[in-house]
Structure 1
Amino acid sequence: MNLRSSWVAETGQTREDTRLNQIGATTLVNPVKVRSGILPGSYDGKYRLSGFWMTSASAMTATVTEGRAVIQGDVAQGAYPVSLPTPEQVTFAPGDAQYGRVDLVVLRVYDKLYDGSNRNEAVVEVVRGVPAQTPVAAAVPDRSLPLYEVLVPAGASAGNGGIPWNTALKDLRSSIVAVGGILPVQAPVVAPGAYPGQYQDTENGQFQRWDGGQWVSYSSAVGGIVPLSAATLQASYPGQYRATGAGPLQRWDGAKWAPAYPGPYFADNLDAGYTLSTTYATALTERASVLALSFTAPESRTALLTFGSRMSLVLNSGTTNVAGTAFMCLRLTQDTTVVRDLNDELAVLASKGADATGGISTSTTQRLTGLTPGATYTLTSYYRTSNANLRAWFDNSFIQVTPQY
């Protein structure tokens, strides 16, 4: 057996054994015990974990590659450092005639002082599962570190196709680092931290800190922006920000991600319509819809409002030498409450002299203040003419609200 260990054999531990197993890597579970796991690293630096990688060697045989690990026993037993300096082959028993089974490949330490096995050694071992219609993995023995689950189909044998290696393996390997080190997570189940302030790096590249109760993404802990690489991560608190693929930042409001800086808001109507009303009205003859715009007030309580239209005044048939003015104004409401009412001083306008003809494009920009942050407001366009003998025409009308941050 190639798997080497320290402080297990009663006699025969060599200086080479001791040197190979000077690991110095213990990720705490509590003040006394450490986590069982494999030291991270790969030959080219591209992978988190290459130690004890398993590949097929033949129909019923696999090769476990070299690596170093720590296996934690019970509290009184301590931690066993082990190393595999050269690859090791493991062989699986033929499949059951009727049902499949799930075997475990483990690193296992036999210590006769505790297990009554009359053995003192570390081995790479296959723990055979129980065949069943719905097979489950064999239980992990004491002082063992699981490496892989292997599904052995019914009837599998060296002469009958063997194990389908491309689909039969489930990687169970987990990593460890020295106390205070950043753990590169490589495990199906994320283990809880041992102390507040412990750090880990997840498989999706998210840097996390243990806060005493849960793993918190690093950007949350320091109030930073969650990067695009971790965009699927659940938010941690209202007010947290994250990057998006489209570019604009988003902010967590306690229930959902929403644009961090909403707006600008814009609505327009390119249809021409006219009014003969001398009081403000929302509807225009020949224009099918009312022009309105809703927006959400920013934290600053302030927004810039810009609106306008192309206007012209046309005499009714049989009328001559009439002067007048066309007005466009906006009413601001919150639900059914009028926040800012119609006022000619707040309107855009175009005037016509007695002999004048033609039209004009006009707009204005005004500041909206005293808004309630997060509240929804609506701006609705109203129009009028100063003279019932003049049709006030409006075309290319628009409203824009730009929140101030």
Structure 2
Amino acid sequence: MTVRSAWLLPTGQTREDTRLAPLGTMTPDSALASRPGVIAGGAPFAASGASAMQVQVGVGRALVQGTAAQGAYPVTVTAPELLTVADGDAQFGRIDSIVLRVVDPLYDTAEQVAATVEIIQGTPDAAPSPPALPSACLRLWDVLVPAGTSAGVGGITWSSALTDRRRYTAAYGGITPRGGQEPGSYDGQYRDNGAGLDRWSTSAAAWQPLDPVVPWTWVTLAGGYTNNGNAQGTVRYRRIMIAGMPHMQWYGGVAWEGKLPADGYPFVAPVPAECRPVNHVSLSAAAGGACCSVDFQRGGLVRIIDLPGVRTWVSFTGLTYPLGT
């Protein structure tokens, strides 16, 4: 057997089934149901064209949920499966779905128990859509079958025909791998969004991104300036996201003696391009003797505006501004 389910065989699971199948408490979808999906690791159930009308689906592990009363089936595919797509309709295109399916005579009309990788054929239409799936069926891929497609006329263009429909699941409390846009299952669930983490909020009925930990970048001071002005630390900055917009955040202080050095430019180099404001920014800053203005220029340069009474230090702590879009 190359497609097997540890909790389906009528004579009970074998020891090998138990070793291969994804057993354990998975992410809940309700009080009794588990979130169906693919178990991440490598490239589970990868699909590629094998011939004009044949597609190969690779190995992988998954959880296939039936009805709530039926429960979830852990399924493993241990060798690639070769599937044949039926010829296209003469008039309209259609969308077929490659699925992982469990049939169980205790809950459906099947005559025998089986776990399979198969194609469920869609309906030809001027605007085709994927077919509806029966219970205990997990969609892996959609296949676009244009009108008139057959091996005799070149078959399916696999590079553009396949649409990845794999959704992922994880053990309870785990972070759901990237894939799919399904709602979360419970308050406080986490998922990988490809760039960071989202947390599911039941009250908001939405995934909410977590603010990532962004490291600081230290600057090199121009001659005549020293760090830790007024004991406020080494000057540094970081680019952060606030409400979906990039911002610059500064920290630390500079100090000097006598006349403001370097015409008020405390750093030897401009900040990187991705950290420069779209529009010129001027902010008030605490300073020795009196408040002053610090300009953040579009070219990345930073300048302290020399005002009467400012002669000892300037604080960058708390200076935050949007970079614009």
Output the TM-score relative to the length of structure 2. 0.68
| Structure-2 separation of matches of 1:20 and 1:73 | 20
Q: Is the 8 A contact 2:201 2:208 kept in 1?
A: yes
Structure 2 CA distance, aligned partners of 1:226 and 1:144? 44
Aligned counterparts of 2:137 and 2:150: Cα–Cα separation in 1: 27
Q: Deviation at 1:199?
A: 1.8
Taking the aligned partners of 2:79 and 2:144, their CA distance within structure 1 comes to 25
Match of 1:207 among 197, 201, 207: 197
2:257 is matched with which residue? none
- C-alpha displacement of 1:297: 5.0
Counterparts in 2 of 1:208 and 1:226: CA distance versus 1, 3 Å: farther
Q: Does residue 100 of the first structure (1) align with residue 93 of the second (2)? A: yes
Q: Which amino acid aligns with 2:8?
A: V
* 3-state secondary structure, aligned to 2:75: strand
TM-aligned CA deviation for residue 81 of structure 1: 0.6
SS in 2 for 1:249: strand
Query: Counterpart of 1:365?
Result: 307
Match of 1:58 among 44, 47, 51: 51
Shift of 1:131: 0.8
Change (3 A) 1:25 1:159: farther
Q: Matched residue pairs, number?
A: 254
CA distance in 1 between counterparts of 2:130 and 2:74 reads 25
Judging changes above 3 Å, is the alpha-carbon distance between structure 1 residues 226 and 71 closer, same or farther for their aligned structure 2 residues?
farther
1:119-130 alignment to 2 at 5 Å? 119-130=112-123
| Structure having the larger proportion of residues in strand | 1
SS of aligned partner of 1:210: strand
Cα distance in 1 for partners of 2:241, 2:39 equals 38
Which residues in structure 2 correspond to 1:1-20 (within 5 Å)? 2-11=2-11, 13-20=13-20
Q: 2:177 touches 2:192 (CA, 8 Å); kept in 1? A: yes
Given the alignment, which residue of 182, 188, 195 partners 1:191?
Answer: 182
Q: Tell me the percent identity.
A: 39
Task: For residue 255 of structure 1, report the CA deviation from its aligned partner.
Answer: 9.0
> Which residue number in structure 2 is paired with residue 218 of structure 1?
210
Maintained 8 Å contact 2:282/2:293: no
Q: How does 1:73-222 map to 2 (within 5 A)?
A: 73-187=66-180, 190-202=181-193, 204-212=194-202, 213=204, 214-219=206-211
Instruction: Provide the rounded CA distance (Å) in 2 between the counterparts of 1:86 and 1:75.
Output: 30
The change in CA–CA distance for 1:209 and 1:125 in structure 2 (over 3 A counts) is: same
Structure 2 SS opposite 1:129: coil
TM-score calculated relative to the size of structure 1? 0.55
Question: Measured at CA, do residues 118 and 249 of structure 1 come closer, stay the same or move farther in structure 2, by a change above 3 Å?
Answer: same
2: CA distance, partners of 1:142 / 1:77: 10
Cα offsets for 1:37-59 (capped at 9, x unmatched): 111111xxxxxxx1111111111
Over aligned residue pairs, what C-alpha RMSD do you find?
A: 3.3
How far apart are the structure 2 equivalents of 1:156 and 1:226?
Answer: 54
Q: After TM superposition, give the deviation of residue 90 of structure 1 in Å.
A: 0.7
The verdict on how the C-alpha distance between 1:367 and 1:118 changes in structure 2, with shifts beyond 3 A counting, is farther
Cα gap change, 1:298 to 1:215, in 2 (>3 Å): farther
- With over 3 angstroms needed to count, the CA separation of the structure-2 counterparts of 1:107 and 1:296, relative to structure 1, is same
CA contact (8 A) 1:60 1:158 kept: yes
- CA distance, structure 1, for counterparts of residue 281 and residue 151 of structure 2: 70
CA contact (8 A) 1:305 1:402 kept: no
Separation in 2 of the partners of 1:38 and 1:154? Answer: 31
1:304·1:404 contact (CA, 8 Å) conserved in 2? no
Q: Secondary structure at the match of 2:199?
A: strand
Letter in 2 for 1:303: C
Give 1:119 shift.
Answer: 2.7
Q: Does the CA-based 8 Å contact 1:182-1:201 persist in structure 2?
A: yes
Structure 2: runs of 5 or more not aligned: 217-236, 251-279, 295-304, 319-325
- For residues 244 and 19 of structure 2, the distance between their equivalents in structure 1, rounded to whole angstroms, comes to 55
**1:199 maps to amino acid:** Y
Q: Which amino acid aligns with 1:201?
A: D
Which residue type is aligned with residue 54 of structure 2?
A: T
Determine the C-alpha separation between the residues in 2 that align with 1:207 and 1:74: 30
Which amino acid is the alignment partner of residue 211 of structure 2?
S
Match of 1:304 in 2: 292
Which residue identity does 1:94 align to in structure 2? Answer: D
